[in-house]
Structure 1
Amino acid sequence: MPAPANAIDSLLLRCTPAAHETATPLAQAALALLRQDLADLQLDLRLARVAQQPQGIAYLYFALGNPQPLSADQTAQAERRLQGAGMAGLAACELSRLQLVMHRVGSTHGEATPVHYAVEMDPEAGWQDELFAWYDQEHLPGLAAVAGTAQAFRYLNLDHGPLSLACYDLVDAEVMGCPAWLAVRGTDWSARVRPHFTNTRRTMFDAQPLVVAIR
């Protein structure tokens, strides 16, 4: 049976670990708290990705094994529980529902991906349809096909935004400077729509390996 059209596929937790602290233990603690808080929804929640800037913000992605509707109120309640858990890294965290728009697997899928690159933006008024068409028809599939891209995702962030989150798991940061990557970024369509990004965030993360599946 297909998931409802408004089903949530993942949760994104933005948080700031303490200095010299890796985000993985914080992610494990957050996962346990989320499972408790959302237990009645039977979400089959698992940790999918831990991405952290050195001495900076971390993006923790939690995948739902059975995508389903999740309300803004339920998400806000879970966020407050995390913020009040007594852990410094979660005190100012933001929890957002992510709705998957596109997932593309690249030629290097299965290889280690120590780099996670995220691009977030809100479309300028009147440009959402074309920006999303560009992303889904040309840009994200094109970058996913570049050697060194293991996989690429685009989500809608339904809570803290920006609205569009495109992210890429890369075998090396140098992938972003290779001719194939630059060619995808340099198309005529890209030049036309990119000036209409607003509230743009481009963030390069170190991706921490998930040595043990967390269930």
Structure 2
Amino acid sequence: MTMSTVIVIRIPGIRLTREHCDALLSNVLGASDNRAHLCHAADAPETYIYLADALDSIMPKNPTNTTSKVGSTGTLAAAIAQYYPNASTALLQLTLDLRGQAWNKTATWHYVVETDVDATAEADFNDWYTQEHMPGLAAVPGTVRAMRLYNPDGAPRYHALYLLQTQDTFGSPQWLKVRGTEWSSRIRPHFRNTKRTMFNIIK
């Protein structure tokens, strides 16, 4: 768990095969990236590709030069748009990474919550996520890993993802108990621009 940044590529309207994903990354990065995490939305044709610390593949290491990082991400986005014009590309910062109850198991599903939050509730929102919500969901049987990421340059700003052993983990009594706390009820009305998606992980 050493990554610090993640690039997420969103391609609506299509479920990209592993072969096409590898070809895309080979074309835009100069080589296939075996760190790519490929997943398909369960209820709509949509593809997400996650690249952990992928900036190392497209630019020299320069951790203090944020402008270069943003510019290189823009270059990557432009290259991907040549193949998939509706695609979007964002550089996310990892803020929390937790081993789940099923850490040693294989994840086959991937649940994502992307959201903004009212500025008046943002501090409470972040405390809720880090102190109660994400640790609670990580402890649910069947959760392999739970991660929070932050988008400083776009929206939605917050990106929470949960790698799950089976889809049944989502909606289990233990999962629903974590979601149903008093603190959760206080925070959830402040969510804005929210997108919740269940993904099938493509090997």
TM-score by length of 2: 0.84
Q: 1:161 to 1:180 in 2, by over 3 A?
A: same
Number of equivalent positions: 191
Structure 1: segments with no counterpart, 5+ residues? 40-44, 210-215
> What amino acid is the match of 1:149?
T
CA distance in 1 between partners of 2:94 and 2:80 (Å) = 24
> What amino acid is the match of 1:51?
C
**Partner of residue 108, structure 2:** 114
Q: 2:37 aligns with which of 49, 68, 72?
A: 49
Q: Deviations over 1:75-124 (max 9, x none)?
A: 1121111111xx3xx22111100100000111212322211100010011
Q: Deviations over 1:181-206 (max 9, x none)?
A: 11110111101011000000000111
**Partner of residue 130, structure 2:** 136
CA distance in 2 between partners of 1:72 and 1:8 (Å) = 15
**Partner of residue 153, structure 1:** 147
Q: 1:15 aligns with which of 7, 11, 24?
A: 11
Residue 74 in 1 paired to residue 72 in 2?
Answer: yes
The residue matched to 1:161 in structure 2 has which SS? coil
How do 1:118-197 residues align onto structure 2 when only pairs under 5 Å count? 118-197=112-191
Please identify runs of 4+ aligned residues in structure 1 that moved more than 4 A: none
What's the CA shift for 1:160? 4.1
CA distance in 2 between partners of 1:144 and 1:115 (Å) = 14
CA distance in 1 between partners of 2:20 and 2:135 (Å) = 32
The residue matched to 1:110 in structure 2 has which SS? coil
Q: 1:31 aligns with which of 25, 29, 48?
A: 25
% identical equivalent positions: 32
Structure 2: segments with no counterpart, 5+ residues? none
* RMSD across aligned positions (CA): 2.4
Residue 64 in 1 paired to residue 53 in 2?
Answer: yes
Q: 1:27 to 1:17 in 2, by over 3 A?
A: farther
